[in-house]
Amino acid sequence: MTYLRRRYRILTLTASRKDADHYTKKEVPHMAKVKYKYYDVQPFGSIAEMISLALEQCPQKIAYKYKENDEIKAMTYSEFINRVYSLGAFLESEGFGDCNIACIGANSVNWITAYFTAIRCSGAFVPLDRELPGKDIIHLINDSESKVVFCDERYEQLFAENADSLGGVKYFICFDRSEDDGKFLSFKKVLDAGAKLDKSAFLALKSDPNRMKMLVYTSGTTGMSKGVMLSEHNLVSSVYYGLQVSTVFEVGLSVLPYNHTYESVSDLLVSFHHHSTLCINESLRAILKNLKIYHPEYIYIVPAIAEKFYTRIIKEIEAKGKKKQFDSAVKLSNGLRKVGIDRRKKIFSFLHEIFGGNLRKIVCGGAPIRAEVGEFFDNIGISLINGYGITECSPLVCANNDAAMFSGVLSRDKARGKSGLKIEPARETIDVKHLSRKKQACYYLAFHRFRVYFFNVHAARGYYRLGKRS
């Protein structure tokens, strides 16, 4: 193992070395007994192919719903892809088809358009955290060597005041700007200009699947900002294998900031390849309101949001003096489930209405979640799927399989006296004694009292401009 630790990046959590060294399949015997269902997923080998498949298979289906001046707008896959092709044609005509392209701003269909265009080009996309201090934003743009920056109006003054230190940036394409002004271009005018251009040069762009396609800055555990280099192969693998383990449905609500890979890959790309309709939530405060407006079937969130949902509902039930009545309903419902009768949606319809009436699945990631939260959602008829990963894994490592009912996973954890969700590896358990040196990467996962060593095609290429320090 010394060789592997030296040669490959190893990510460690809380388990001890003694626990890791003594890990065997026997310590998790239930994993050999559960038969998992893997979904059939349309194979694809590149972002270009993923976009082409959507254009061929569902051009008139609604890809995105969003608010514009308090009016709900809809955009089909065909309309969205034409925007991507127009923006790409403009960038290629200006010589930016093979460069790093940064983007900073609020969640919007324009942000998604810039994202898909950049990863369809031959260069790399650089999503930036909109909550960073101004000096950090300037530093990351320079460190990433970005030639083009997409941004909201709120950042124009910052970039104008620091123009001298941003000499490497040729254009700032502003989502809210109506007119061009020097280096500051109107996003709308850029799209209009691109629509008139020949798209063949842009569509002919190709990428090495192992070359950096996305550069994501993360502080990690050291506190020092580092650029994680994700390849096109990383992104494609995360989407394809992730959908095999846990599927999505027809309508989703997009909530989390797009600069995080959890949202930009596991939600935006996954939903696109599944040909779902993704509704854009404009702010965290509007989640419950938008759940009732868009009636989504799935949503990607972090445990803190799930905890707030849970806490708020329980408090309201207790405030109305209906806690015993609720507990009795849960007991009745679970009794019916044991004999194959599922009436959760009907029994707890008053709770389903809070989430828009159609919510079937909550995907949680980014941190552990308390077992009682997952048990609550399972009791009322909403699946809570927990995933584990980090940016360096693009970002998915493993997730609960849809076939493994939460109540079953929870009961196993309770039997061990553990709290939190047991996350099943997406593929078979790997015996550490048979690790090969020739695989792409070796990682640890630490859950409960053991580490799982496994290989992952999602592993990042390293940290940008850090050389051997990666």
Distances in whole angstroms, Cα of residue 219 to Cα of each of 105, 136, 224, 291, 392: 19, 12, 5, 32, 11
119 close to 214: Cβ distance less than 8 angstroms: yes
Residue 143 has pLDDT above 80, yes or no: yes
**What is the tens place of the pLDDT at every residue in 54-77?**
999 999 999 999 999 999 999 999
CA angle (10 as vertex; 8, 12 as ends), nearest 5? 175
CB burial of residue 149 (10 Å; 0-12, 13-18, 19+): buried
Cα(386)–Cα(365) distance, integer angstroms: 6
Q: How confident is the model at residue 145 (pLDDT cuts 50, 70, 90)?
A: very high
The band of 293, judged by pLDDT with boundaries at 50, 70 and 90, is: very high
Rounded Cα–Cα distance for residues 406 and 421 (Å): 8
Interval 310-326: pLDDT, tens:
999 999 999 999 999 99
What average pLDDT does the segment 323-346 reach? Answer: 96
Strands 100-104 and 146-151: parallel
Query: 371 or 47: whose pLDDT is higher?
Result: 47
Both structure tokens of 22: 């003594």
The answer for residues whose C-beta is within 8 angstroms of residue 158's C-beta and 6 or more apart is: 134, 137, 138
Higher-confidence position of 463 and 443:
463
> What's the mean pLDDT in 303-311?
96
Please tell me whether the overall predicted TM-score, pTM, comes out greater than 0.95 for this model: no
Give the CB-side neighbour count of residue 310, counting CA atoms within 13 A: 20
Indicate whether 5 pLDDT > 60: no
For the stretch 195-216, pLDDT in tens is 999 999 999 999 999 999 999 9
Mean pLDDT for the stretch of residues 260-274? 97
Task: Provide the pLDDT confidence category of residue 404 given band limits of 50, 70 and 90.
Answer: low
Would you give the DSSP letter of residue 168?
T
Query: Residue 401's pLDDT band (boundaries 50, 70, 90)?
Result: confident
Binned at pLDDT 50, 70 and 90, residue 439 comes out as very low
Say what the pLDDT of residue 386 is.
86
The arithmetic mean of pLDDT across residues 132-157, rounded, is 96
